[in-house]
Amino acid sequence: MRRISLFAASATVALVVTTLVTPAAAEASGPNAVVVWNSNAQTAIYEVARQGPYVAPRSFAMVQGAVYDAVNAIAGTPYQPYLISPRSHRGDSADAAVATAAHRVLVSIFPAQTASLDAMYAESLAAIPDGRGKSGGIAVGTQTADAMIAARVDDGAFDPSDAWTAGTTPGVWRPTPPTNASDGAWVGSLRSFVIPRNDMFRTSGPPALTSRQYARDVNEVKAIGGVTSAVRTQDQTEAAIWWHDRRLTEWAIKRQLAETQHLNTLQTARMFAMADVANADSLIACFNEKKHWSFWRPVTAVQEASNDGNPATTGDPAWMPLLVTPPFPDYTSGHTCSTATIMTTLRMFFGRDDIPFSAYSADSGTTRNFDSFSAALDEVVEARIWGGVHFRAADEQGVRIGNGVAYYVLSHEFRRR
């Protein structure tokens, strides 16, 4: 079985991202405001608005980018601002800035949730003593939020005219059962946050239908990714379902690391912004690939394998994957693009790979433990095949795109001044 590791896939510029601890204002004694408002953002973005895993990264990048700029400004701007560095004063409240920046961005994205978001905001402000520090933090957070909101006007989000190209010839994507849905094409055309071109990580494309590699990929996912697979183990089944739960890698794990690694407000704001801004661009690059290649999903490929021109594959019209196939093309894998970007960013932020973490998924009813960021990335490559929703080529090329985006973003943004 072919495997790809985080480090093997990172054959790009060497880059070390150092973390500087520079608290310009006294650290709050209560909960980390960045963690609190990241959780609040998850409630608004995912739990209430139900934005998909290919939509939510834009919202999180907007929130965390504004939060980072606010905290960085109050800390004396030890790092490059993402958009702006408003003037701040000694004693300005970082907690007030965090709450204001996050709240203001979220209300701009989800005006229908204003009442619930206002309640969260009031609770956060109530814990901060009134005075110049509180009002100063609010002013800083307002400015960074407004800059982010302005920067994303007319960025192409939710463009109804942007659609996938579907077809009926072998190899070409078409909506898949049971939902037969089509969604998210606009992500590949979305104005990026950092990368200069959405197609700058263009690959050579999926394997030719008549190639040996393609036959291996089809037969692998057919054997192990089917809903009734006799070769997939219970642990592999649980892993496939666990990795399908997007609460974990994109939100819960980062919050867990902020707490277990005892990050202060500035460190947390920077780590979250690095991961979420890079992740948004990774999904943009990945979906640009999907739009360019429009390659069919395993469920279509296996069912129609008798028509693909490859003598080493055999069709099974009744075959269905373990997981429900997402409503867009296979190549490249959005999940491995995203996970590679996040895990690479975390490795670079902490300056090491061997930091353990774990998370529980209600979807699988299990907790999975990892002793390193690269171990997690290696597993998700396999998990998307075990779930029957991606070919190995899509997963491996997704890792390469994700790593490339992470290195590019972190070599251009969020660096020490």
Q: 87 and 74 in contact (C-beta within 8 Å)?
A: no
Integer CA distances (angstroms), 295 to 230, 289, 328, 377, 388, in order:
27, 10, 9, 23, 15
Residue 9, both tokens: 């896939």
Three-state DSSP class for 86?
Answer: coil
Q: 89 and 136 in contact (C-beta within 8 Å)?
A: yes
Longest dimension (CA), the chain: 76
pLDDT for res 247: 73
d(CA 393, CA 416): 36
Provide the β-strand partners of residue 359. 368
Average pLDDT in the 78-97 region? 98
d(CA 97, CA 93): 6
d(CA 352, CA 128): 35
d(CA 313, CA 221): 12
Number of H helices, E strands in the chain: 14, 2
Residue 241 C-alpha from the chain's centroid:
17
pLDDT for res 29: 58
Average of per-residue pLDDT values in the chain: 93
d(CA 190, CA 154): 9
pLDDT for res 251: 82
Ranking 39-43, 141-145, 246-250, 317-321 by mean pLDDT, the lowest is 246-250
d(CA 227, CA 20): 48
Average pLDDT in the 390-401 region? 98
Q: 376 and 239 in contact (C-beta within 8 Å)?
A: no
Plot region of 365 (φ>0 → left; ψ -120 to 50 → alpha; else → beta): left
Residue 131, both tokens: 């005075």
Ranking 15-19, 155-159, 318-322 by mean pLDDT, the lowest is 15-19
CB atoms within 10 A of CB 109: 20
Provide the β-strand partners of residue 226. 321
Average pLDDT in the 242-269 region? 90
pLDDT digit string (tens) for 156-196? 999 999 999 999 999 999 999 999 999 999 999 999 999 99
d(CA 263, CA 346): 13
Average pLDDT in the 115-135 region? 98
Average pLDDT in the 386-396 region? 98
Residue 101, both tokens: 């920046």
**CA pseudo-torsion sign 94, 97, 101, 102:** positive
- pTM, rounded to two decimals: 0.94
pLDDT for res 25: 40
User: Residue 24 pLDDT more than 60?
Assistant: no
Nearest to 86 by CA among 128, 25, 142: 142
pLDDT for res 246: 72
pLDDT digit string (tens) for 196-225? 999 999 999 999 999 999 999 999 999 999
Confidence of residue 285 (pLDDT cuts 50, 70, 90): very high
User: Residue 22 pLDDT more than 90?
Assistant: no
Share of the chain above pLDDT 90, in %: 90
